[in-house]
Amino acid sequence: MSQDSSSSKTLSERKKKLQSHLSVLNKSLQESLSYAFDRYYETEVLSYLKIEEKIDRFELLFFKLGEQINAADTMALLRQSAARLDYLADLLDELEARLFRRARRKRRASARLSDFFSRFSQQGTNGTPPSKGEISSLTEAYRTLELEEGASMSKVTSVFRRLAKKYHPDAHGGDRSSESSLRRVVEAYQMIKESSPE
């Protein structure tokens, strides 16, 4: 086996491991959201909404990180993605420790999720500045989410979750043919969320 094919195989195996870890974290997010809903929604709705917002941010970051992992064509870029994944896993553990009222499993993260989200969103999937988005207006964003313009943020979030699950590769046995639709859904959701006064 040549050195190039050996490196390619190692890169591919490492990508699979990182995607598998990402899948586990995504499942954990859904379990946390269900638990938060059961525990807080009827009695402490504001607490629930804060938790839901944090989980939404994790979902977006995990999606972007999955794209970054897929696009990585060197071990250096993959190591960068792995470091981001470890960092996010640590932040998620911090959130879940508070939610489930248990001890933390990992070291304490020093930065806030919002800081990480801002830095991460300013980069493309391979660490370069992002290209201009596909969605050019709020009208188009609402249309992408199959909603009437001005729909409530709770409705937007609900539809976003449904469509994100519909187009996610995990829902199609790893088939990535719907990723462009998923990317548009994520972009539309971000645009609406950033413009929402709610």
* Contact call for residues 17 and 78 (beta carbons, < 8 A): no
- 93 CB-near residues (< 8 Å, 6+ apart): 104, 105, 106
* Contact call for residues 161 and 118 (beta carbons, < 8 A): no
41 pLDDT band, cuts 50/70/90, is confident
Q: Please, what are the domains in the chain?
A: 1-131 (no CATH), 134-198 (1.10.287.110)
Q: Dig out the tokens for 21 from the structure.
A: 């870890």
- Which whole number is the average pLDDT over 53-61? 89
Distance CA 48, CA 39 (A): 8
Q: What is the pTM for the complete model shown?
A: 0.59
- Residue 127: what pLDDT? 45
176 pLDDT band, cuts 50/70/90, is confident
**CA proximity to 126, closest of 81, 190, 185:** 81
130 pLDDT band, cuts 50/70/90, is very low
- 106 CB-near residues (< 8 Å, 6+ apart): 89, 90, 93
The number of beta carbons lying within 10 Å of the beta carbon of residue 59 is 20
